[in-house]
Amino acid sequence: MLFNLSLRYKLPIWGSLLIVVTALVLTTSLMAQAWDNLRRDTLKSAEDLGRTMARPLFTALLHDDVWRAYETVSLPLAANKESELAKSLLVLDADGNVYVSSDPELHPVLTDLDVLGSDYKELKQRLADGSDSAPVILDRSDIPHIFVALPIANDSIRLGTLIVAYDKELLWQRFSLLIERAVWITLLVLAVLLPINWYWGGRMVAPLRLVTRRLSRIGSGDLANLEPGLYPYRDEIGQLYVAYDQMAGELREKVALKQEVIKTERMAAVGRLTASIAHEINNPLGGMLNAISTLKRYGQPDPQTQKTIALLERGLSQIRETVAALLVEAKVKTRPLTRQDIEDVRVLVAPMANKTKAMVDWQIDLPESLALPSTLIRQVLINLAFNAIQAAGNGGKVNVKLGLESGAFRLCIENDGKLLSEEQRESLFEPFSRFSEHGHGLGLWICYQIVTQLDGEIGAETFEGLTRFCVSLPLEHEIATR
């Protein structure tokens, strides 16, 4: 169906149709005009010729000089063979018979007009009806000639009639030459205009096609902006591009937000579950450890039993450590963070860095003291620094940046080790991370719990071959000082 075609074809097709119709209408009207002009020119030149020749012919008729009359009527035809074909001049005597003709074989001397054909008969009738002085013009579509008849008269004495006869066939031949030329010019114009139109249509529709394609891909999650500078103009298509970019941006934000919410909710659920399980374990655990302590102190167990008790105590202590790690409690009493705390962490981290031969670069831009819980910040800093040094690996590089940024404490640690995979990023802060190569996989979980409980934000990103963990904490946080 034509109307369902792509605009890339529809636009040029309609354009071409308009061009062709315009060309046809113009050519046709010009041709009609040309035919009218040709006919009028023919009649005019016939009349002019007749008037010019009527005078010498009057003398020839007066002297009854057939030869001079013949020379006179053949004169305009002698020079030009083509016009000789196109017309003939005919002199009638006073009785209406042929006196002389430029083509005596066609119109022999003394012939009655009636025997020359029906159109001559018609002309004879018209001449008989017409007035004496005015030229008689016979130009009917059903006769093969155009006749212009003029009186050969002087001083109101009429000696005969001069007839200029044009063969319409030859008029048509001349006109068909005009038509042929017009057709070629029209074709030439079309040959130039149609490709331009095709090209123009393609150019007009290309940006529309692009935005249509991109819109149809939104469903499959492709929300990239259009390449800048693709369409620099401010017309409707330019506005459409801007609108598309805005819409894509908003959609991207929405998707990101949704993912963030899901992640946060999941983390919260995991947190609640972990906390309640930890509490449930903690209570009987405390009892069991107390019981073992009592047993060690007051009972006299044999060596075998002592061994078993020690085994139980070690196992329960491990459970308590793990549960304690799960139960991150931010509301512990602590002192404000000082520069010395950071220095302590540097000292703590240094041996590990030495071991893995990683270079750790510290950039610290902090005031002497900050209203942040020192214990927790130290915990976060240590966890993240250890992770980074491990990830950087042998000879790797780790940058640690600490500073204040628009009223918030900001901590960024980056390493040039193996980048995080998409899968890793998805469940980065979950407890017992299966991606943890060392330890129990609670390090990032603890960081996350601390930061979120302090109303801060923690996130990971990768760029330019670096993996970066950033923490930002609001400073107006109230510290429960010891």
Partner 1 sequence: MTPAFLHDQHAMLAEWKIYLESKLKRPVVFVQRDSYRETMDLIQKDALDFAWLCDYPYLVLGSEVRLLSVASYKGKPAYQSYLIVPSSDTQSKSIADLKGKVFAYADPHSNTGYVVPRYLLKKAGKDASTFFRRTFFTWSHHKAVQAVASGLAQGAAVDSYVWETLQRVNPALVAKTRVIWKSPEYGFPPIVAQHKVGSKDFAEFQTVLFNMHRDPAGRALLEKLNLDGFVGGSPRMYQEVVEMMRVLGDS
Residues that bind partner 1 (CB under 8 A): 64-67, 70, 74, 100, 103-105, 108-110
Burial 18-48 (b: 16+ CB within 10 A, else e): ebeeebeeebeeeeeeeeeeebeebbebbbe
User: Cβ 72 to partner 1, closest distance in Å?
Assistant: 13
Question: What 3-state class would DSSP assign to 51?
Answer: helix
- Which of residues 108 and 287 has its CB atom nearest to partner 1 in the complex? 108
Min. distance of Cβ 98 from partner 1 in angstroms? 11
Could you give the CA distance from residue 161 to residue 95 in angstroms, rounded to a whole number? 10
φ/ψ of 362, rounded to 5, equals: -105, 130
Question: What is the separation of C-alpha 271 from the centre of its chain, rounded to a whole number of angstroms?
Answer: 48
CB 171 within 8 A of CB 139: no
Residue 69 beta carbon to partner 1: minimum distance, rounded to whole angstroms:
9
Residue position matching structure tokens 């102190």: 297
Q: Are 391 and 415 contacting, i.e. CB atoms less than 8 angstroms apart?
A: yes
**Closest distance to partner 1 from the beta carbon of 104 (Å):** 4
Residues in the chain: 482
For partner 1, the closer CB: 65 or 457: 65
Q: Which is nearer to partner 1, 61 or 211 (CB)?
A: 61
How many CA atoms lie within 13 Å of 367's alpha carbon, on the beta-carbon side? Answer: 11
Positive/negative CA dihedral, 96, 100, 102, 108: positive
Q: 116 or 412: whose CB is closer to partner 1?
A: 116
Closest separation between CB of residue 189 and partner 1, Å?
47
CB closer to partner 1 out of 83 and 282:
83
Q: Whose CA is closest to 445, among 353, 366, 327, 354?
A: 327
CB nearer to partner 1: give 61 or 323. Answer: 61
Measured CA to CA, the distance from residue 324 to residue 278 in angstroms comes to: 8
CB of 158 to partner 1, least distance (A): 21
CB of 103 to partner 1, least distance (A): 8
CB 408 within 8 A of CB 369: no
Q: Between 91 and 370, whose beta carbon lies closer to partner 1?
A: 91
